[in-house]
Structure 1
């Protein structure tokens, strides 16, 4: 018998002072059986931290030809390709060429990811940021997630303040570049 995805609901309040983005939205996320809770959480964080008109959350690990998060303009053209986890260099290269803007959010050690990309061809690699969070904070946050959770995210000076159902956590949003 095949395992099915776990449907999770998030009510998100976003206050991103760094970008001047303030929004309330709901997300329904299908957590695939092969997807860790930390990976799924970083998908939600990537969506929230990239939130803009035309943003779409894809099927995550089940999306073979798409990244975790896509942004399209009104014509349907892909304007941002946002990967989660540890995508291979070829995938990042393709996304950067297609969208003109690519980014990676990871729940893993970003140094290992950068080592994996060293010497590999990635379109405009110097413009592809890799964002990471304190892994212990991610673990604690993931442990607090329910099938229905309320998230309040505040971003100030690259600090993420995350409230999950009344429990507060804080982490820096670390940034490094693939090139």
Structure 2
């Protein structure tokens, strides 16, 4: 018998001073049976950092991710069905990223885990020409601290200022400083 996903609910209060974005979001996330709290929270963080200021070009939504190999973790589709954003979490291979760049206007990857430097060393040359790709690394210690905030029902405040990110739940908070491994348009 197949294991079922666990449902998490999150209330996000986002104050992103870098993008002048201030918004509240009520989200429902499914934790896949093979997924960790760390990955779940990275998906939540990716949502907060990639959500557009308005829905004029479609909403950013959680996609199939682990359950569907043809879908990212999050995506934003416009009213015609064209992909505006393709957002991945983890360490996908170069073929997946190239395919995503061929389908979406912008591809954003949030890598985490202790093996990220080794993974990136092997991938960097293969994706250097993908102009639509942006790659960020969240330090392992930060992603582990973020995982500790995971609860089935969460109220999180996410503040972004000068590239630093603070995530808090009213009792505990985590400070993250992602490192840009590849900016859009260049290697």
| TM-based fold match above 0.5 | yes
Cα distance change of structure 1 residues 156 and 136 upon mapping to structure 2, 3 Å threshold: same
Call closer, same or farther: CA 1:63–1:132 in 2, change over 3 Å.
Answer: same
**8 Å CA contact retained: 1:149, 1:165:** no
Are 2:46 and 1:46 equivalent residues in the alignment?
A: yes
Aligned partners of 2:71, 2:128: CA distance in 1, in Å?
17
For 1:165 and 1:59, locate their aligned partners in 2 and report how far apart those are by CA, in whole Å.
30
Q: How many residues align?
A: 178
Q: Which residue of 1 aligns with 2:107?
A: 102
Runs of 4+ in 1 over 3 A off after TM superposition: none
How many Å separate the matches in 2 of 1:123 and 1:176? 10
Structure 1 residue 110 displacement after superposition: 3.5
Q: Give the structure-1-normalised TM-score.
A: 0.91
> Which of 147, 152, 166 in structure 1 is aligned with 2:157?
152
The residue that corresponds to 1:80 in the other structure is 85
CA 1:51–1:111: 2 relative to 1, 3 Å: same
What is the CA-CA distance between 1:131 and the residue it aligns to?
A: 1.3
* 2: CA distance, partners of 1:131 / 1:150: 25
CA distance in 1, matches of 2:27, 2:39: 15
Give deviations 1:73-118, integer Å, cap 9, x for gaps.
Answer: 2222101111110111111001111112111012224422322314
Q: Distance in 2 between matches of 1:22 and 1:168?
A: 19
Q: TM-score, normalised by structure 2?
A: 0.87
Matches within 5 A, 1:58-137: 58-108=63-113, 109-120=115-126, 122=127, 124-137=129-142
Q: Does the alignment pair 1:11 with 2:11?
A: yes
Cα RMSD after superposing both structures = 1.8
Segments of 5+ residues of structure 2 without an aligned counterpart are none
CA–CA distance in structure 2, aligned partners of residues 168 and 75 of structure 1: 39
Shift of 1:143: 1.8
Separation in structure 2 between the aligned mates of residue 118 and residue 166 of structure 1, nearest angstrom:
39
